[in-house]
Amino acid sequence: MRQRALVTYLWDRHLAAIAEFLPGSGVEVLVVPTAHATERLHRIAEEQHCRVVVLESLSAETSPALGATSQALHGVLEGSSWLPPGQSEQAADRLRAIIGARLDADLPAAMATIDALEVARDRYDVVLFVTSEDVTSAAKVATAWARSRAVPSLHLAHSLALLDPYTVHAHLLADVLAVYGERGAEGYLDLGIEPSRIVPTGNPAWDVYSDVRAIAPTLRTQMIDAFGLDPALPIVVFGTTFSGKLTAFDTGEAHLQTLRAFVHACEELARSGILVNAVIKDRPTSASQGQTVLDQVLSDSDARQRYAYCVEHTEAWTVCADLLVAVDSNYLVERMLVGGTGINLVGIASLPLPPVFDAAAGIVEAEAHELAECMRGLLTDEQLRGRLREASARRLEYYHAGGDDGRAAKRVAELMGRLASPVGGAGGRQHRPLLERMGIRRRR
Partner 1 sequence: MTTVDDWEPVVASRLREGPEGIRLLAHVVSGDYLRAVGAPGGGLTVEELADLADADGLAIEAISPYGALLGGPDSTASLLADLENTNRWRRLLGWIEGDATLASAVRVLERTLIAALPPGVTHRMLVVLARRSAATANAGWRDRSRTVSRSLATGDLEGAVPGLATIAQTLATELAPLLTSSKVRYLCFSILNAAASRLPGLDATRFLPADVAATYAAWRRAGLIDAEATALTRTWAASSPMRLHHGVDVTLACDYPLVRDLLAQHYGLFGDEH
By rule CB under 8 A, what string of x and - marks binding of each residue 324-353 to partner 1? ----------------------xx---xxx
Please state whether beta strands 51-54 and 125-131 pair in parallel, antiparallel, or not at all (unpaired). Answer: unpaired
By rule CB under 8 A, what string of x and - marks binding of each residue 172-191 to partner 1? --------------xx-xx-
65 binding partner 1? (CB under 8 A): yes
Nearest to 258 by CA among 312, 326, 208, 307: 326
Select from 35, 54, 144, 193 the one that contacts partner 1 (CB under 8 A).
144
Considering the complex, what minimum distance in angstroms separates the CB of residue 243 from partner 1? Answer: 7
Considering the complex, what minimum distance in angstroms separates the CB of residue 195 from partner 1? Answer: 11
Residue with smaller CB distance to partner 1, 51 or 249: 249
Chain residues 76-135 in contact with partner 1, contact rule CB under 8 A: 76-77, 81-82, 84, 91, 94-95, 98-99, 101-103, 105-107, 109-111, 114-115, 118, 135
Select from 149, 283, 306, 313 the one that contacts partner 1 (CB under 8 A).
149
Chain residues 369-408 in contact with partner 1, contact rule CB under 8 A: 369
Select from 354, 387, 390, 431 the one that contacts partner 1 (CB under 8 A).
354
- Name the one range near partner 1 by CB under 8 A: 166-174, 210-218, 314-322, 432-440: 166-174
Considering the complex, what minimum distance in angstroms separates the CB of residue 427 from partner 1? Answer: 16
Q: How far is CA 15 from CA 28, 126, 334, in A?
A: 16, 18, 19
Q: Is the Cβ–Cβ distance between 111 and 65 less than 8 Å?
A: yes
Residue with smaller CB distance to partner 1, 17 or 185: 185
167 binding partner 1? (CB under 8 A): yes
Select from 12, 67, 73, 230 the one that contacts partner 1 (CB under 8 A).
73
Q: Is the Cβ–Cβ distance between 277 and 375 less than 8 Å?
A: no
Considering the complex, what minimum distance in angstroms separates the CB of residue 198 from partner 1? Answer: 12
Considering the complex, what minimum distance in angstroms separates the CB of residue 215 from partner 1? Answer: 34
Select from 194, 225, 367, 381 the one that contacts partner 1 (CB under 8 A).
367
243 binding partner 1? (CB under 8 A): yes
Q: Is the Cβ–Cβ distance between 346 and 366 less than 8 Å?
A: yes
Residue with smaller CB distance to partner 1, 290 or 362: 362
Residue with smaller CB distance to partner 1, 19 or 120: 120
Q: Which residues bind partner 1 (CB under 8 A)?
A: 63, 65, 68-69, 72-73, 75-77, 81-82, 84, 91, 94-95, 98-99, 101-103, 105-107, 109-111, 114-115, 118, 135-138, 140-141, 144-145, 148-149, 164, 166-168, 170, 186-187, 189-190, 243, 245-250, 252, 346-347, 351-355, 358-360, 365, 367, 369
